[in-house]
C-alpha cells in the first residue's frame, strides 16, 4: 500500500518508528517531512499529506503531532479527506469501517509508540463496511465539500 506520512516536531520521533514499522510490513512510504525534530509548523505537513491522498498519490495518510488535533483540523480542510484522530484500536477501526477515513491522526504526547503501532495496524487492516447508511452519510460530506468549492 502507498502511505503518505508527516508530522511536526512533537511527532517526529514517533513518525520515524511508524515509518520503520510500515516498511517492515512491505508498504511504500512517502515521507512528507519534517526531516528533523527542529521546531516547525504542523499545517505545512498536514497539507502535504492530505493533498497526496486527495490526489491519489497515496492510498492513505498518517499525521502525527502532539495531540493529533491540529493535524486533523488542517487535513479535513482538503476536499476528499476524512481525517480521524484516533488514540486506540476501537476508534481506528470505526474510523475506517464507518467513516471511510483516509487519513489517520495520532497524538505522540497522548499515546505511546506501542499503542500507536497498534492503531496504525488496525487502521490499515480495516476496510470500509460499505453499508448503505455509511455511504449515505459520506455522500452528504462530499456534497458539502462540493458546495463550498468555487467553480
> What is the tens place of the pLDDT at every residue in 55-91?
999 999 999 999 999 999 999 999 999 999 999 999 9
Query: What residues contact 54, with CB distance under 8 A and at least 6 apart?
Result: 78, 79, 80, 81
99 class by beta-carbon count within 10 Å (0-12 exposed, 13-18 middle, 19+ buried): middle
Say whether 9 is catalytic: no
Q: Which of 9, 27, 98, 134 is catalytic?
A: 98
Average pLDDT over the chain, rounded to whole? 97
User: pTM of the prediction?
Assistant: 0.97
What band does 11 get if pLDDT is binned at 50, 70 and 90?
A: very high
What band does 24 get if pLDDT is binned at 50, 70 and 90?
A: very high
Is the pLDDT score of 148 beyond 90? no
Share of the chain above pLDDT 70, in %: 99
List the chain domain ranges: 2-148
Q: Which CATH number fits domain 2-148: 3.40.50.300, 3.30.2180.10, 3.40.1400.10, 3.40.50.2300?
A: 3.40.1400.10
Which secondary structure element, helix H or strand E, spans residue 4, and what is its range?
strand 2-7
Is the pLDDT score of 149 beyond 90? no
Say whether 40 is catalytic: no
- DSSP assignments along 28-92, one per residue: EEEE-S-SSSS---HHHHHHHHHHHHHTTSSSEEEEEESSSHHHHHHHTTSTT--EEE-SSHHHH
Determine the pLDDT at residue 151: 61
Q: Which of 9, 65, 86, 87 is catalytic?
A: 65
Amino acid at each position: 500500500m502507498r502511505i503518505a506520512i508527516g508530522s511536526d516536531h512533537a511527532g517526529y520521533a514517533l513518525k520515524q518508528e511508524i515509518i520503520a514499522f510500515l516498511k517492515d510490513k512491505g508498504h511504500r512510504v512517502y515521507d512528507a517531512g519534517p526531516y528533523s525534530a527542529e521546531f516547525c509548523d504542523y499545517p505545512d505537513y498536514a497539507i502535504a499529506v492530505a493533498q497526496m491522498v486527495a490526489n491519489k498519490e497515496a492510498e492513505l495518510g498518517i499525521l502525527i503531532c502532539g495531540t493529533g488535533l491540529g493535524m486533523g483540523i488542517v487535513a479535513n480542510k482538503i476536499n476528499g479527506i476524512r481525517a480521524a484522530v484516533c488514540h486506540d484500536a476501537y476508534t481506528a477501526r470505526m474510523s475506517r469501517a464507518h467513516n471511510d477515513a483516509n487519513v489517520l491522526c495520532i497524538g505522540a504526547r497522548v499515546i505511546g509508540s506501542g499503542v500507536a503501532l497498534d492503531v496504525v495496524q488496525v487502521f490499515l487492516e480495516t476496510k470500509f463496511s460499505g453499508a448503505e447508511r455509511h455511504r449515505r452519510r459520506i455522500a452528504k460530506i462530499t456534497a458539502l465539500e462540493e458546495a463550498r468549492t468555487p467553480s
